[in-house]
Amino acid sequence: MRILFMGTPAFSVPTLQCLYDAGHQIVGVVTQPDKPKGRGKAVSFPPVKERALALSLPVYQPRKVREEEFLQTVRELAPDAAVVVAFGQILPQSFLDIPRFGCVNVHASLLPRYRGAAPIQRVILDGEKETGVTIMQMDAGLDTGDMLARQVIPIAPDETGGSLHDKLMQLGGPLLLSVLADLERGTAVRTPQTGETCYASMLDKAMGNVDWKDGAVPIERLIRGLDPWPSAYTHWNGKTIKLWKASVRAAEKDEETAAPGTVVRLGATIDVKTGDGILQIAELQLEGKKRMDAASFLRGAHMQAGDVLAGE
């Protein structure tokens, strides 16, 4: 099948490789424009572009896919289908109508739940027990098209945003191959999205700022869900501390009256009172320092029971 592939981040790369290895004719790879990155502002290629160049595939980087010049380019490429994996732009109907079999999206959630840009992290923040990948026939809405296939996986109790990302990025390609075969044979089954839905908006650094009035359970989920980016963080003695690993326990009687954010016990973990229960911080990172376990941190810091951790 003639495939136009559209994707940008590392999450998209395994699906591109899977299509290539399966022998599909990839007529073009569309990705976001290059961006300056780091302190030196050196131009950085999107991960999908790097892989496409390594495979000697033609790369297109339109600023807006809705521009007529790019739409005409796609018409000339004459793809049978467009495969979209975390591309980063909303596709207009004028684009969706070009491929013979339409546009197929690989989405990292069990639709109709967690439409939007950050479903991987949101399922952890919300305490979901399972997630997966949905292959969807795209329409003009935001992740609202008919479902063509889904694959479900459990969410581990210690799952992080990073570990779940790496699991899900490997699921889409093999599932997509079977969907493309069904589309070509005319046997694909479309299932409309019905039932409860929710939206997973983009992540930003501010959402990692821990509010100690929240309960220990949602704070622990926040730490895992935002690992590795944008990360959960708090402040102590005017410095930022990133939180990387924690567990939850009930507050003991003498700890119940402590204000949220108060350090109530120090040892193998740093135990902090929250709005409901105790968060036991096991791994953290003081600004300018490396990530370390709590015991190592305490050997070099002057933190004491009664100190208060706070948001900005």
Tens-digit pLDDT profile for residues 23-50: 999 999 999 999 888 777 788 999 999 9
Burial 155-189 (b: 16+ CB within 10 A, else e): beeebbbbbbbebbbebbbebbbebbeebeeeebe
How confident is the model at residue 43, as a pLDDT? 86
Q: Which two tokens stand for residue 123?
A: 């399922």
How confident is the model at residue 137, as a pLDDT? 98
Pairing mode, if any, of strands 2-7 and 25-30? Answer: parallel
Q: What does pLDDT average to in each consecutive run of 10 residues of the chain (312 residues)? A: 98 98 98 86 92 98 96 98 96 97 98 97 98 97 96 98 98 97 97 96 96 98 98 96 98 96 98 98 97 97 96 72
User: Residue 132 and residue 167: Cα distance in Å, rounded?
Assistant: 9
Provide the 10 A C-beta neighbour count for residue 303. 18
Opening angle at CA 174, ends 170 and 179, nearest 5 = 135
Burial 46-59 (b: 16+ CB within 10 A, else e): bbbbebbeeeebeb
Q: Which residues in the chain are classed under CATH 3.10.25.10?
A: 205-300
Q: Which helix (H) or strand (E) holds 224?
A: helix 216-225
Provide the 10 A C-beta neighbour count for residue 291. 13
What is the second-level CATH architecture of the domain 205-300?
Roll (3.10)
How confident is the model at residue 210, as a pLDDT? 98
Q: Which residues in the chain are classed under CATH 3.40.50.170?
A: 2-200
How confident is the model at residue 225, as a pLDDT? 98
User: Residue 88 and residue 78: Cα distance in Å, rounded?
Assistant: 22
Q: Strand pairing partners for 133?
A: 151
- The CATH code of the domain at 2-200 is 3.40.50.170
Q: Reduce the DSSP state of residue 22 to 3 states and report it.
A: coil
How confident is the model at residue 239, as a pLDDT? 95
pLDDT, tens digit, 9 for 90 and up, residues 72-111: 999 999 999 999 999 999 999 999 999 999 999 999 999 9
User: Residue 209 and residue 230: Cα distance in Å, rounded?
Assistant: 10
Q: Reduce the DSSP state of residue 206 to 3 states and report it.
A: helix
pTM over 0.85: yes
Largest CA distance in the chain: 73
